[in-house]
Structures are given as structure tokens and as C-alpha cells.
Copies of this chain bind each other. A is one copy, B any other.
Amino acid sequence: MRGATTPELFDSCSSCPIRHRAVCARCEPDELDQLEDIKYYRTFEAGQPIVWAGDRMEFVASVVAGVATLTQTMEDGRRQMVGLLLPSDFVGRPGRETAKFDVTAVNTVTLCCFRRKPFEHMLETTPHVAQRLLEMALDELDAAREWMLLLGRKTAREKIASLIAIIARRASIDGADTTDGVSVELPLTREAMSDYLGLTLETVSRQISALKKDSVILLDGNRRVLIPDMRALLDETGDDDDGGMLN
């Protein structure tokens, strides 16, 4: 998941065709050449599996465009999302032979893939890549821990409010005007939201309706959400801070 990384890093390496934080920030030209040799792009359509848990992983990758999910499934079909991958997020784990989770495209996804073995080699020889990856992994760990609080202790209503707040925050990273009403496109179906939140899709639907009835949110179609008052939404999340949404 994308954490609180500085936008400058993202753009600091404009000569790199990847233009991607994970491997691009602070890259030297010869390192970029090295990357060029081992990288390739792949595109996946909405709903398509990217990897299945247990598959052999030949690559690690960066999400360039689109949204993908990381999920775990139990034998009887119970499913839990454990990662939501947005552009700039990293897929795969250096040093791991077989995937541990299912990765699925939510909409059209473009990945910038790196062959795993050479990428691992580069990790060992190019210190700042390991440092950058460490930073990203720690951001994800923080996000995972917030998510654990949500899963373990929040009510269905708080979960929905939190999810909308999380998506709104990410969508408005480059500071869209927050003063009077924010509009967000939910990239997920009700079912995917339920997998994220540890609920059923019926409960998700009911709680969204309830928040609408109470004018905390407005719906435009059933994917676009209008937030008339961000403060009011944040009050519904159960969090004591604003998650960096307010000034």
C-alpha cells in the first residue's frame, strides 16, 4: 500500500522511463540501464488474476496504473483482502519463490515487472534501493496495523466510514480542494469492499445506505461518493485523529 512518501521522490528521476518511486528515486544512469535490461510491462484486464497464491513468481513489479487487490481465501471460500494496490505500490517479495497471496486486477492494471533474480542481485549491490524498499515496507506495515484495528474492533458503520476516508485521502493526495465537499470514485464493488472490511456485501450495502440517510455522504450513481463535510465523515470512523485529512 502507498504510504506517506514525499511526492518529490516520485518525480525526482524524470529520465527514468519507469518514473517510479520504488526503484527510480535517486537512481544513477548506470543503475537505470541495469533496470532497463530486466524490466518489461504487462497489462491485465478487470477481474483477471495476476498471480495465484502458490504460483511461482518470476518477477516483482510496480503498479503503474489501475487498482489490484491482494487476497487470502480459506478452503470454504471465506475471503479476506490483505492489500489494496494502487499506482506506485510494489507487488511481490524479493527472495520469495512462490506467491503467498492471490493478486487480482480490479480494473485495467499496468505493471512494470522486473525479473526477480536480477532484481534481487541489484538489491544487494545498490544500497539505496534496499533503503527505499525498506521505507515502503514499513509504510505498508503501518497501514496493515491500522487495518487490523479496523478489522478487530470497529463496527460495520465505522468500517465503511474508514474505508471511504482512506480512499478519499489517497485520491486527494495532490491536494484537491477539501473546503466544500469532496467527490471520490470508489474503485471497488460492494463485494470487494466486504472483502476489505471483513463484512458481507449486504452489510456493506446497508451501512452505505445508512450513511446516506444520515447525510454523511451522498451518492452519485453507486460508485461515486460525495462527502459534504469531511469532518463529519471522520467523526464516524472511530479514529481520534484525522488521518492527515484536515489542515
B-binding residues in A (CB < 8 A): 70, 72, 74-76, 78-80, 82-83, 93-95, 100-101, 123-124, 127, 130-131, 133-135, 137-138, 140-142, 144-149, 151-153, 197-198, 238-240
- Complex: chain B residue closest to A123, CB-CB: B131
Q: A82-B149, A148-B151 are in contact. Are A140 and B141 (CB under 8 A)?
A: yes
Cross-chain contact of A80 among B140, B153, B197 (Cβ < 8 A): B153
Q: A74-B238, A75-B240, A145-B82 are in contact. Are A198 and B152 (CB under 8 A)?
A: yes
Q: Which of A127, A134, A153 has the largest count of B CB atoms less than 10 A from its CB?
A: A134
Q: Tell me the interface secondary structure of chain A in the complex.
A: helix
**B74 in contact with A152 (CB, 8 Å):** no
Q: With A and B bound together, what is the CA distance between A232 and B165 in angstroms?
A: 42
A1, chain B: closest CB distance, angstroms = 10
18 more A-B residue pairs beyond the given contacts A74-B149, A141-B144, A144-B148, with a C-beta to C-beta distance below 8 A: A70-B145, A72-B148, A74-B153, A74-B239, A74-B240, A75-B240, A79-B153, A80-B149, A82-B149, A83-B145, A94-B134, A95-B138, A130-B130, A130-B131, A137-B137, A137-B138, A151-B152, A152-B197
* Residues in chain B near residue A134, CB distance under 8 A: 94, 130, 133-134, 137
- Complex: chain B residue closest to A140, CB-CB: B141
**A95 in contact with B135 (CB, 8 Å):** yes
**A149 in contact with B72 (CB, 8 Å):** yes
Q: With A and B bound together, what is the CA distance between A82 and B143 in angstroms?
A: 11
**A151 in contact with B198 (CB, 8 Å):** yes
A200, chain B: closest CB distance, angstroms = 11
**B149 in contact with A148 (CB, 8 Å):** no
Q: A131-B123, A145-B70 are in contact. Are A80 and B238 (CB under 8 A)?
A: no
* Residues in chain B near residue A133, CB distance under 8 A: 134
Q: With A and B bound together, what is the CA distance between A127 and B125 in angstroms?
A: 9
Q: With A and B bound together, what is the CA distance between A130 and B137 in angstroms?
A: 12
- Complex: chain B residue closest to A95, CB-CB: B135
- Complex: chain B residue closest to A82, CB-CB: B145
**B83 in contact with A153 (CB, 8 Å):** no
Q: With A and B bound together, what is the CA distance between A130 and B131 in angstroms?
A: 6
Q: With A and B bound together, what is the CA distance between A245 and B79 in angstroms?
A: 23
Q: With A and B bound together, what is the CA distance between A51 and B91 in angstroms?
A: 33
